[in-house]
Amino acid sequence: MPPFSVFSPAKLNLFLAVTGRREDGFHELVSVVAPLALGDTLTIEGWEPGARGGGEPDFSLACDAPGVPTDESNLVLRAARAFQLASGWTGGAHFRLEKRIPAGAGLGGGSSNAVAALRALNRLAGEALGAHRLAEVAAQLGSDCPLFLHAGPVVMRGRGERVEPLPAEVAARLTGRRVLVFKPEVGISTAWAYARMAAEVPLHYLPVAAAEGRLAAWRERGAPAEELLFNNLEGVAFRKFIVLPVLQEVLRNEFGLVARMSGSGSACFALLPAGLPVGPVAATLAEFLGPGAFVRDTVLG
C-alpha cells in the first residue's frame, strides 16, 4: 500500500472534574472533551508480512520536532506493538510524525498520536480489529487514548476508558466554536499534578454526584459552552505556575473572556465570541508569556 497520512488532533478538556483516587492509583474523573482542528500528522509506510529482510525492525519512527523520542518509549511505537499483539498481524511500518501539538500541555498529543497509529495499522491490516477491540487496546495505552477514536465531543468517565459521545444537539453547542489556545514555554507533568492533588485530599476533589449534577444541568438548560467550563486541577497547577491565573484575570478584565486550563496543563484556552479580533488578545498573551510561547487560533471539532 502506498504511504498515507492520518490526522492526529489535539483535545481540550472543557469540563474536567477529578472526583477521587482509585485503589490502583489512577484517578476517577468526569470530563467533557472536544477535539481541535489543531493537530499533528502521522504518515505511515507499511509493508506486508515477510517483505522485510531479517534483522530489520518491524516498526520505526521519525519526527520533525527536536527532543521528541523516536525509540520504543514513544507512544506511536508502543501502540504499534500493542496492535501487533492484539491482532496477530505480522507486517510492519515506518511512521513519520509532523509534530504541531506541544508536549507537557494537557492537549493529549502523545495519546492522539498513539490512536492515529492504531487506526493507520488497522487500515493496513484490513480492519483486523473491530471498534470494540480497538477501544480496548487504546485504553491499555493511556487514559486519554479512547476519546481519540471519536470524531466529536465526548464525555469521559472512570479513568478515561468509558467514553460517551455527546448527543448531536448538545455537541452542536461546542462544535465549530472558535478558541484561542495558549501555553507558556514550561510544561506541567501530568504525574506531578495528580500526585499533588492526591497529597492534598480532599481539598481539590469534586464529588462525583456534584460533577454529574453540574454536567446534567448544563446539558438540560441548553446553556452555551462558556457555562460548561471547569477544571479542578487548576487549584494545584496555579499555585506553582502563577502566570496562568494572572492571565485568566487579564483576559477577563481586558477582553471579557473566560479562560480555563486543559487537562493538567500547562496549556489554557479561551472561547472567542464571533467577531472578536484575535490580534490584540494574542499580543497580550505573547507579552506575558514571552517569545517562546505557544498561541494558536483554532476551532473545536
CATH number of the domain residue 44 falls in? 3.30.230.10
Mark whether 139 and 201 lie in a shared domain.
no
Of 144, 168, 192, the residue that ends a domain is 168
Mark whether 125 and 193 lie in a shared domain.
no
Type and span of the H or E element at 82: helix 75-87
Per-residue pLDDT, 221: 94
Is position 228 within any domain?
Answer: no
Where in the sequence is the domain holding 114, given as residue range(s)? 4-168
Is position 219 within any domain?
Answer: no
**Residue 99 is among the residues annotated as catalytic for this protein:** no
Cβ neighbors of 166 (< 8 A, separation 6 or more) are 32, 152, 153, 154, 155, 174
Cis ω on the peptide bond leading into residue 87 (within 30° of 0)?
Answer: no
- Per-residue pLDDT averaged across 216-235, rounded? 95
Is position 186 within any domain?
Answer: yes
Residue 292, C-alpha cell as written in the block: 517562546
Mark whether 157 and 284 lie in a shared domain.
no
Confidence at 202, pLDDT banded by 50, 70, 90: low
C-beta pairs of 270-277 under 8 Å, 24+ apart in sequence: 270/179, 270/180, 270/182, 271/177, 271/178, 271/179, 271/225, 271/226, 271/229, 272/177, 272/178, 272/179, 272/180, 272/297, 274/178
From first CA to last CA, the distance across the chain in angstroms is 29
Per-residue pLDDT, 299: 97
Span 127-174, pLDDT tens digits: 999 999 999 999 999 999 999 999 999 999 999 999 999 999 999 999
pLDDT, greater one: 54 or 226: 226
Catalytic residue among 40, 99, 144, 183, which? 144
Span 22-32, pLDDT tens digits: 888 889 999 99
Per-residue pLDDT, 48: 72
Mark whether 209 and 256 lie in a shared domain.
yes
Mark whether 161 and 183 lie in a shared domain.
no
Confidence at 285, pLDDT banded by 50, 70, 90: very high
Of 168, 195, 222, the residue that ends a domain is 168
Mark whether 126 and 263 lie in a shared domain.
no
Mean pLDDT check: name the lowest of 38-52, 66-80, 173-187, 251-265. Answer: 38-52
Of 149, 168, 187, the residue that ends a domain is 168
Nearest CA among 294, 284, 297 for reference residue 250? 284
Per-residue pLDDT, 25: 83
Is position 248 within any domain?
Answer: yes
Nearest CA among 227, 233, 240 for reference residue 205? 233
- Per-residue pLDDT averaged across 189-201, rounded? 87
Helix, strand or coil for residue 221? helix
Confidence at 1, pLDDT banded by 50, 70, 90: confident
CATH number of the domain residue 282 falls in? 3.30.70.890
Is position 146 within any domain?
Answer: yes
- Residue 41 phi/psi, 5-degree rounding, is -125, 125
Mark whether 164 and 282 lie in a shared domain.
no
Kindly state the percentage of the chain with pLDDT values over 70. 96
Quote the number of domains for the chain.
2
Helix, strand or coil for residue 80? helix
- Residue 69 phi/psi, 5-degree rounding, is -65, 140
Whole-number average pLDDT of the chain: 93
Is position 222 within any domain?
Answer: no
Mark whether 20 and 131 lie in a shared domain.
yes
Mark whether 160 and 12 lie in a shared domain.
yes
Per-residue pLDDT, 204: 79
Assess contact for 164 and 157: CB atoms under 8 A.
yes
**Residue 183 is among the residues annotated as catalytic for this protein:** no
Per-residue pLDDT, 24: 85
Confidence at 43, pLDDT banded by 50, 70, 90: very high
Mark whether 191 and 107 lie in a shared domain.
no
Mark whether 107 and 36 lie in a shared domain.
yes
- Per-residue pLDDT averaged across 40-50, rounded? 86
Kindly state the percentage of the chain with pLDDT values over 90. 80
| Dist. CA 193–CA 266, nearest whole Å | 10
Is position 218 within any domain?
Answer: no
Is position 221 within any domain?
Answer: no
Helices (H), 125-167: 131-141
pLDDT, greater one: 275 or 204: 275
| Dist. CA 77–CA 73, nearest whole Å | 7
| Dist. CA 146–CA 139, nearest whole Å | 6
Cβ neighbors of 43 (< 8 A, separation 6 or more) are 3, 4, 5, 6, 95, 96, 97, 98
Residue 104, C-alpha cell as written in the block: 507537557
| Dist. CA 110–CA 100, nearest whole Å | 11
Per-residue pLDDT, 52: 59
Span 6-19, pLDDT tens digits: 999 999 999 999 99
Catalytic residue among 11, 40, 99, 183, which? 11
Mark whether 143 and 16 lie in a shared domain.
yes
Span 72-94, pLDDT tens digits: 999 999 999 999 999 999 899 99
